[in-house]
Amino acid sequence: MFGPGPDVQEIWNKFLEINPSIKIRGNWEDFLINSFSKKTKLSNSIELIEKYIIGHLDNPLETCKIVEQWPLHFEKEVNGVRIGLSHNLPNDNQDDSLSVRAESIDLIRLFEKQRQNLDVAIFAHIHHPTMRYIDLNCLSNNIVNYDYTNADERLILNIGSIGLPFDKPTHLYKEKRAEYLLLEVGEHGDINPQFRRIAYDCTLEFEKAFELGLPFKEQYIKSFKS
């Protein structure tokens, strides 16, 4: 919500109106908090963006106090299915080890410590809608004659990105639509992940970026096109 696009207070107002029951802090929320408090040194580019964000919030102090209370991860059970929610790793919003190029040995970190019993791990951060399995008892692709009766499979889902998708599913097309995930959990523990995308007029967003003086607006616009 707090970077890198031009809308700030409008998005925050809508978020407060929706008032979701679970709120998880992401890396851009961390950037906002650190920039406002000056506790952590950020890169010059991030500082410029967050200066814009802070300047377009009606009450940045109040907003930071609210966001700072959000956890990095949350575990929830629905009809007996144990689900873990996090922006990235449960205790690290900056790490890039969960990318679409990640190996199973990296993804196991979503199921460590208090999350060992999770059935499903859902995260964001990489801006790529993803569904893949991990076998906690087989983290290598080179096992010969694997005994599948010992398999301990868990499901991993990524929700994509509402504001800035990164996926380019074919050489002809880069995704521009707003992405989200709807996960239905049946009463018997069956699950139905639905990846959804909604088209919107990006040109209005680009016009607002110039009108409001968004930092790095050329790069922001280019990220939708190349």
Residue 139 reports pLDDT greater than 90: no
Q: What is the pLDDT of residues 63-108, one digit of tens each?
A: 999 999 999 999 999 999 999 999 999 999 988 999 999 999 999 9
Q: What is the pLDDT of residue 182?
A: 98
Q: What is the pLDDT of residues 49-58, one digit of tens each?
A: 999 999 999 9
Q: What is the pLDDT of residue 30?
A: 96
Residue % of the chain over a pLDDT of 70: 100
For the segment 163-174, the average pLDDT, to the nearest whole number, is 93
204 pLDDT band, cuts 50/70/90, is very high
For the segment 104-130, the average pLDDT, to the nearest whole number, is 96
Look-up: residue for tokens 């920039």? 35
Q: What is the pLDDT of residue 144?
A: 83
143 pLDDT band, cuts 50/70/90, is confident
Residue 108 — φ and ψ, nearest 5°?
-60, -20
Q: What is the pLDDT of residue 187?
A: 96
For the segment 4-17, the average pLDDT, to the nearest whole number, is 95
**Number of neighbours of residue 91 by Cβ within 10 angstroms:** 12
DSSP 2-32: -SSSS--HHHHHHHHHH--S-----HHHHHH
Residue 31 reports pLDDT greater than 80: yes
110 pLDDT band, cuts 50/70/90, is very high
Residue 161 reports pLDDT greater than 80: yes
pTM: 0.94
**Number of neighbours of residue 76 by Cβ within 10 angstroms:** 14
As given in the structure block, the two tokens for residue 181 are 């995930």
For the segment 1-21, the average pLDDT, to the nearest whole number, is 94
Q: Which residues contact 101 (CB under 8 A, 6 or more apart)?
A: none
